[in-house]
């Protein structure tokens, strides 16, 4: 049955591939954007996840068109890398506010509708950096590790109501975000990837779609690495 799906940051990169994967199977998909509009065939709702009022308005628009959100993919995120001593508090806080508090805001807005339906699927986009840490990413890695604790707490809170909450942890995915990573660092990461290549957004989209499927209904509080083996052992 077609479901109402909302993907934050679904206008480009990994989020766009995720949104397309849901749309291809016939779901009604809304994507958030901050002015770029939506990919063809999808409903675009304008939203900055650092602003709870914009989150509320975006959900209201998506729900008016598609019904209560049954699948939420919290994917919007940023990096702002710097070594600790060159990272002022503002840069630490901005990344936490976007990645971690942003996820909190969209989940909080989505859950009442899911509780009423007594079903729902929530997938949070974390990162291998959140599990292994990375030089220059104290802010980003903290935000992504925080998602794991949040997801597992919510998995416990919401499991009895038929709502699953899971985390996906990609390795390096070739998107605009990866453009900010130096060639030397990319080479270094690649050397640690048993599958011998970086990911395309579609490599992440399939696992997200599956975690939100009926088949994955007995999986909650899980962290699914989609990293070619880069982070094995976490």
Residues that bind ligand NDP (CB under 6 A): 8-9, 11-15, 32-34, 36, 47-50, 75-78, 98, 125, 127, 170, 172-173, 175-178
The rounded distance, in Å, linking the Cα atoms of 54 and 45 is 10
Q: Which is nearer to ligand NDP, 52 or 177 (CB)?
A: 177
Backbone torsions φ then ψ of 37, nearest 5 degrees: 85, 180
Instruction: Please report how close the Cβ of residue 81 comes to ligand NDP at its closest, in angstroms.
Output: 12
Is residue 140 part of the annotated active site? The answer reads: yes
Instruction: Please report how close the Cβ of residue 40 comes to ligand NDP at its closest, in angstroms.
Output: 16
Tallying the residues shown for the chain, one arrives at 234
Q: Which is nearer to ligand NDP, 72 or 76 (CB)?
A: 76
CB-CB neighbours of 2 under 10 Å: 13
User: What burial class does residue 188 get, using C-beta atoms within 10 Å of its C-beta: 0-12 exposed, 13-18 middle, 19+ buried?
Assistant: exposed
Instruction: Please report how close the Cβ of residue 56 comes to ligand NDP at its closest, in angstroms.
Output: 14
Determine which one of 121, 140, 168, 204 is catalytic.
140
Question: Cα dist. 78→18, 52, 133 in Å?
Answer: 17, 18, 16
SS3 136: coil
Q: Which is nearer to ligand NDP, 124 or 216 (CB)?
A: 124
Catalytic residues: 140
């Amino acid at each position: 049955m077609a479901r109402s799906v909302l993907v934050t940051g679904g206008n480009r990169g990994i989020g766009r591939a995720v949104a397309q994967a849901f749309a291809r199977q016939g779901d009604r998909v809304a994507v958030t954007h901050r002015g770029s509009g939506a990919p063809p065939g999808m409903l675009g709702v304008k939203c900055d996840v650092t602003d709870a009022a914009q989150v509320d308005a975006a959900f209201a628009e998506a729900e008016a068109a598609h019904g209560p959100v049954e699948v939420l993919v919290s994917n919007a995120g940023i990096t702002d890398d710097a070594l600790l001593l060159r990272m002022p508090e503002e840069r630490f806080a901005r990344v936490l506010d976007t990645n971690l508090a942003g996820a909190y805001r969209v989940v909080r807005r989505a859950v009442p509708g899911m509780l009423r339906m007594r079903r729902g699927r929530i997938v949070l986009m974390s990162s291998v950096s959140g599990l292994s840490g990375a030089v220059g990413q104290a802010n980003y890695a903290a935000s992504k590790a925080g998602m794991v604790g949040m997801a597992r707490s919510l998995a416990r809170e919401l499991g009895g109501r038929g709502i699953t909450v899971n985390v996906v942890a990609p390795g390096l995915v070739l998107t605009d975000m990866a453009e900010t990573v130096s060639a030397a660092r990319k080479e270094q990461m690649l050397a640690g990837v048993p599958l011998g290549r970086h990911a395309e957004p579609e490599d992440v989209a399939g696992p997200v779609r599956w975690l939100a499927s009926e088949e994955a209904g007995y999986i909650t509080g899980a962290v699914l690495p989609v990293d070619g083996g880069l982070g094995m052992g976490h």
